[in-house]
Structure 1
Amino acid sequence: MYPPKHHQDYNTSTIKEVARTYPFATLVSAKDKTPFITHAPLIFHGDTLVAHIDIHNPHIALLKEDYPITAIFQGPQTYISPSIYTTKQLPTWNYIIAHAKGTVKEILDPVRVKKSILAMTEFLEAPDQKFILDFDDKRMDRLVPYIHCFEINVKEWEGKFKLSQDKVPADIENAKQELILNNQKNVKDFVNTIFELHF
């Protein structure tokens, strides 16, 4: 990512927390100058990231042993109006993004695939665990042959947190509140609009 130092985050624990909190990632691979992009949830298995995608997705041709891949996790983001600052500023955009760069390893054993699905479900159901997936669920047995499961051995984590860090403390706090409020409002308004258009 473009690296102004005051927007870079070098704390790996903080960067990984973006991936844990916003696990729906954008997966990017490239071959012969052609990008392949897939969106899928990724969860941690130890230090690796694990994902499942449909076997008919053409991206799986690049999700083979040791092939390079980048996973992008996008946290909250919003336009920041100069009107919220206590000092004179220009408009900007604040955001929290994490990149995980690594290589792919396929998971071919059906038992491991099922266990990874159980682990992902357990993670995504946390903390209340309202649904527990049964390892012996026959529906899952029918689904596994149509899933391409793989893990990413992450070689490098990179974080870019553009949060008005170069402003005075009062403006940093105002920008933080704007990031929180705008994301809550924007999600509600947008989802309501989409549902009105489709249902």
Structure 2
Amino acid sequence: MYIPHYYKNENVNEVKEFLRKNSFGILINQVDGKPWATHIPLELDEDKDGKEILVSHISKANPQWKEFEKQPEVLCIFNGPHSYISSSWYKEEEVPTWDYIAVHVYGKLTILDEEAVMKSLHKLVTKYEKDSKNPISLHNMSQKTLRQVKGVVGFKIEITDIQAAYKLSQTRFEDHATIIKELNEGNVTSKEIARHIKKQATPK
């Protein structure tokens, strides 16, 4: 994706942490020559060789998977917080803009066998059930229920490139105090953008 140099985040550890916390992404390839996108959890992991991968699954009813072997190169998009930035918050006249965090991950997809799919499902459920009041476990489910795994196609994506855009008013440093103040009077996502602006502007 196009990222002006001052918005490019090359802090690999920070971007990986973002992917772990914002793992519900968009898987994109082509189906019958047209762009196709599916919204799914895409979990950052490592394979047995220590290579970074994304792991997920989709329904067999979704025709997207039928193109996986013919077109293994895919794009995954992860969106973070975003907010409109009014230029009325600036000291000098300027057009308004939008601050946001977005990460694009490119990679090569490989279909998993049923055993590997089940292993990934166990990890997925365990991750998101850990803070539940009454956590469930696939270990406690009947074989009849677990047979639903036959209705999905699991896959891993070997990561070839990560591009991260953190557009956080980097070019408006003199206006940060006002921007942060105004954003903190808004909704949850605008407050999160305010937090990131303050964080990236703080000397390390």
* Shorter-chain TM band: 0.7 to 0.9
> What is the number of residues matched between the two proteins?
184
Residue type of the alignment partner of 2:43: I
For structure 1, list consecutive stretches of 5 or more residues without a partner in the other structure: 187-199
Where does residue 17 of structure 2 map in the other structure? 17
Where 2:171 maps in the other structure, the secondary structure is coil
Where does residue 111 of structure 1 map in the other structure? 115
Where does residue 80 of structure 1 map in the other structure? 85
Query: d(CA) in 1 for partners of 2:181 and 2:163?
Result: 25
Where 2:95 maps in the other structure, the secondary structure is coil
Where does residue 155 of structure 2 map in the other structure? 150
User: Does structure 1 residue 125 correspond to structure 2 residue 121?
Assistant: no
Where does residue 200 of structure 2 map in the other structure? none
Q: Deviations over 1:52-102 (max 9, x none)?
A: 110110100122387000100000011111233344432001100001100
Distance 1:178 1:114, change over 3 A: farther
Query: d(CA) in 2 for partners of 1:179 and 1:101?
Result: 32
Residue type of the alignment partner of 2:106: K
Instruction: Provide the aligned C-alpha RMSD in A.
Output: 2.5
Query: d(CA) in 2 for partners of 1:151 and 1:129?
Result: 31
Which of 126, 144, 161 matches 2:166? 161
Query: d(CA) in 1 for partners of 2:70 and 2:128?
Result: 27
Distance 1:51 1:34, change over 3 A: same
Q: Deviations over 1:132-172 (max 9, x none)?
A: 41335225422110011001100001001111001125x23
Identity of aligned residues (%): 29
